[in-house]
């Protein structure tokens, strides 16, 4: 987004001038300081995560062959197009016919309409369902900015539950969200390079720069921070995480880089725009020894179903949890590849997962709930991620872009 792009420029200038905004190098959590709290930098990346009423997230649903076969491309989420995943055949045919007929003026006019079908932020062809050849360059490429900083080594993902949570709900959220990470392997920490996994899409951002893809681990905990809070600002998110850090000084496994994940209860509200501007965001703070990346999102009531829930019947039976599982992956992808807003962005300032917001892999169903990946024993509907090579991939509603679910 333009605001973020401006911040990237400002940050880059500050780095060049060795100003106080300079990014700290990642350091292990067992650095020689007992104070791991941080000062929030004052801005966030919230991308393009709110589901627009103009975009049907299942317009290209193949429904695992359960479509109703109307094939009219009307984008009403009815698993149309005989379950073949395009749902646009008649629309594409009439469009191409008009494009190729009617003389030069009509051609240029229709070509303009064709180009306007691309979303300026993502390169996804929302309007016409058009697909570029697999392996061809995708529009609006992503590239390395400034210092090209990414998170490397072993990353500990640490949930911070804030607000009126019940112990049972904390256990469930730890289990379902943690499974996304623990399904990478059987070790305490496992590489994101695992073939067929949602985090594999970040691997190229590392290997293209001669770096080893990081390993992730989920640090499950049942601590509830500030159980009576109801309204939380952006700065308040940082304050709540700092309170958690102070109360749990040994929570970070030795030799790992922490990424804290603020998870608000549905009795709380992220007041800077949850459900209107964003469904989640990431940022970082400046600590005495290192920069501290963190992520923020929350559980939510039906008030926010239209903007933060792609579906209200979900594979694990919990709308808020299943919806935030996708947001979590989105924000982790971006935190890995652009932790301090000096990493991987496109020309408009959009990060890798922003470019694939609300774009899924090939869809299947359990009952009426859609999912696009099974991790361990659980099914999830996870948004895709843009590949570093900027080449068009095959798959799901991301056809014609570099959006991919599993790399």
**For 283-332, how does the pLDDT look when each residue is reduced to its tens digit (9 = 90+)?**
999 998 899 999 999 999 999 999 999 999 999 999 999 999 999 999 99
Q: Which H helix or E strand runs over 325?
A: helix 319-337
pLDDT of residue 223: 96
* Mean pLDDT, range 16-44, rounded to an integer: 54
Q: Which H helix or E strand runs over 40?
A: strand 38-40
Q: Which residues pair with 143 in a beta bridge?
A: 345
* CA atoms of 118 and 125, how far apart (whole Å): 5
Global pTM value:
0.80
**Strand intervals (E) in 70-145:** 142-144
- Match 């947001």 to its residue by tokens: 327
* CA atoms of 380 and 325, how far apart (whole Å): 8
- Match 């102070």 to its residue by tokens: 246
Q: Has residue 83 got a pLDDT over 60?
A: no
pLDDT of residue 394: 84
CA distances from 228 to 142, 232, 254 (A): 42, 11, 32
Radius of gyration of the CA atoms of the chain, in A:
21
Most confident of 7-11, 74-78, 348-352: 348-352
**Strand intervals (E) in 354-404:** 364-366, 369-371, 373-375, 378-380, 385-386, 403-404
State residue 156 phi and psi, 5-degree precision: -100, 120
The per-residue pLDDT for range 152-194, each reduced to its tens digit, is 999 999 999 999 999 999 999 999 999 999 999 999 999 999 9
* CA atoms of 344 and 205, how far apart (whole Å): 8
* Mean pLDDT, range 78-99, rounded to an integer: 38
pLDDT of residue 361: 92
CB 263 within 8 A of CB 298: yes
Per-residue tokens: 352: 């890798």
CA dihedral (296, 301, 305, 306) positive or negative: negative
DSSP for 169-181, written as a single string = HHHHHHHHHHHHH
Q: How far is CA 281 from the centre of its chain?
A: 9
Side-chain half-sphere exposure of 368, counting CA atoms within 13 A: 6
pLDDT of residue 96: 44
Q: Has residue 33 got a pLDDT over 60?
A: no
State residue 261 phi and psi, 5-degree precision: -125, 100
CA dihedral (267, 270, 275, 279) positive or negative: negative
Q: Which residues pair with 39 in a beta bridge?
A: 286
The C-alpha angle with vertex 102 and arms to 97 and 108, in degrees rounded to 5, equals 90
The pLDDT-based confidence of 19 (bands split at 50, 70, 90) is very low
The per-residue pLDDT for range 368-405, each reduced to its tens digit, is 999 999 999 999 999 999 999 999 998 645 567 999 99
* CA atoms of 328 and 218, how far apart (whole Å): 12
Higher pLDDT, residue 241 or 81: 241
Exposure class string for 369-399: b at 16+ Cβ within 10 A, else e: bbbbbebeebbbbbbbbbbbbbbbbebbbbb
Q: Which residues pair with 378 in a beta bridge?
A: 375
Q: Has residue 27 got a pLDDT over 50?
A: no
pLDDT of residue 104: 55
Contacts of 403 (CB under 8 A, 6+ apart): 122, 124, 355, 356, 359, 384, 385, 386, 387, 393, 395, 396
* CA atoms of 7 and 28, how far apart (whole Å): 27
The per-residue pLDDT for range 319-375, each reduced to its tens digit, is 999 999 999 999 999 999 999 999 999 999 999 999 999 999 999 999 999 999 999
Q: Which of 125-134, 215-224, 319-328, 334-343 has the lowest mean pLDDT?
A: 125-134
Most confident of 6-15, 99-108, 217-226: 217-226
Percent pLDDT > 70 in the chain is 72
Q: Has residue 62 got a pLDDT over 70?
A: no
Q: Has residue 36 got a pLDDT over 80?
A: yes
The pLDDT-based confidence of 129 (bands split at 50, 70, 90) is very low
Contacts of 109 (CB under 8 A, 6+ apart): none
CB 46 within 8 A of CB 28: no
CB 348 within 8 A of CB 354: no
CB 79 within 8 A of CB 56: no
């Amino acid at each position: 987004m333009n605001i973020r792009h401006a911040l990237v420029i400002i940050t880059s200038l500050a780095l060049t001038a060795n100003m106080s905004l300079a990014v700290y190098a990642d350091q292990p959590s067992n650095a020689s300081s007992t104070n791991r709290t941080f000062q929030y930098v004052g801005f966030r990346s919230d991308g393009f995560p709110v589901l627009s009423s103009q975009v049907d997230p299942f317009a290209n649903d193949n429904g695992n062959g359960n479509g109703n076969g109307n094939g009219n491309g009307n984008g009403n989420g009815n698993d149309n197009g005989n379950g073949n995943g395009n749902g646009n055949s008649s629309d594409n045919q009439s469009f191409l016919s008009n494009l190729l007929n009617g003389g030069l003026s009509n051609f240029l006019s229709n070509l303009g309409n064709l180009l306007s079908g691309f979303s300026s932020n993502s390169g996804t062809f929302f309007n016409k369902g058009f697909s570029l050849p697999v392996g061809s360059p995708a529009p609006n490429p992503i590239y390395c900015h400034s210092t090209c900083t990414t998170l490397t080594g072993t990353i500990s993902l640490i949930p911070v539950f804030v607000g009126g949570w019940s112990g049972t709900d904390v256990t469930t959220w730890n289990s379902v969200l943690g499974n996304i990470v623990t399904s990478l392997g059987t070790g305490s920490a496992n590489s994101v390079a695992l073939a067929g996994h949602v985090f594999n899409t970040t691997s190229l951002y590392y290997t293209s720069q001669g770096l080893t893809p990081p390993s992730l681990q989920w640090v499950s905990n049942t601590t509830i921070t500030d159980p009576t809070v109801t309204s939380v600002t952006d700065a308040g998110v940082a304050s709540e995480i700092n309170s958690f850090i102070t109360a749990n000084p040994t929570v970070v496994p030795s030799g790992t880089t922490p990424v804290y994940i603020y998870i608000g209860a549905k009795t709380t509200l992220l007041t800077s725009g949850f459900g209107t501007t964003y469904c989640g965001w990431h940022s970082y703070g400046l600590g005495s020894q290192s920069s501290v990346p963190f992520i923020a999102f929350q559980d939510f009531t039906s008030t926010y179903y239209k903007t933060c829930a792609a579906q209200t019947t979900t594979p694990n039976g919990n709308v808020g949890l299943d919806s935030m599982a996708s947001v979590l992956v989105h924000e982790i992808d971006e935190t890995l590849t652009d932790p301090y807003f000096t990493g991987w962005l496109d020309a408009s300032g959009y990060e890798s997962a922003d470019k694939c917001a609300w774009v899924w892999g090939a869809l299947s169903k359990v009952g009426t709930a859609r999912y696009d990946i099974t991790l361990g024993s659980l099914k999830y509907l996870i948004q895709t991620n843009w590949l570093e090579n900027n080449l068009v991939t095959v798959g799901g509603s991301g056809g014609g872009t570099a959006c991919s679910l599993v790399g």
